Amino acid sequence: MERKFNELLKEWSGEQGNVIPLLQKTQEIFSYLPEDAMAEIGRVTGKSSAEIYGVATFYAQFRFEPMGKHIIKVCHGTACHVSSADLLDQTIENELAAVPGKTTEDGLFTIERVACLGCCSLAPVVMIDGEVYGKLTGDKLKKILKKTKGNK
């Protein structure tokens, strides 16, 4: 396991309190919550692995799979929805063989479906690595994905 994680566990050894900050810090280290890390958290806090997993699965902030190098957020707020956000999902699936909530097999992209990116006047919108792309069509998005793929 990573050295930072081992240091974190030493700090929390025997702590029976709230495990949420420990899970958050673990996710910061690994970018997700590995199964063996959750087992270790249970061991040092005196809780069962099932209890730790139960807490982690209750909150949407926790991930159980590694994130891709590039994070794609497809907006599905009202303005984007009525402006064909589903077409953007389909374009991403066709181009990257990935669906919302999953990471591509090569580990390059994680696709997320989000409620709103706050860019309604630019609908439909996609955010890639924090950069917003608006007024998208399938063809425009294909070009952006190809360019992003080239920036491995």
CATH number for the domain harbouring residue 92: 3.40.30.10
| 14 and 49 in a common domain | yes
Provide the mean pLDDT of the chain: 92
| 53 and 82 in a common domain | no
Which of 11, 28, 58 is the last residue in one of the domains? Answer: 58
Q: For 109-121, write each residue's pLDDT tens digit.
A: 999 999 999 999 9
| 87 and 50 in a common domain | no
User: How many domains, the chain?
Assistant: 2
pLDDT bin (cut points 50, 70, 90) of residue 1 is low
| Buried b or exposed e, range 80-98, using 16+ CB within 10 angstroms | beebbbeebbebbeebbeb
Overall average pLDDT of the 13-27 stretch: 84
Global pTM value: 0.76
Q: Check: CB of residue 113 under 8 Å from CB of residue 90.
A: no
pLDDT (0 to 100) of residue 2: 86
Does residue 46 have a pLDDT over 90? no
- Token pair for 126: 């996609």
Query: In which domain, by residue range, is 115 found?
Result: 70-150
Does residue 16 have a pLDDT over 80? no
| 21 and 41 in a common domain | yes
pLDDT (0 to 100) of residue 60: 84
High-pLDDT (> 90) share of the chain, %: 76
| 135 and 77 in a common domain | yes
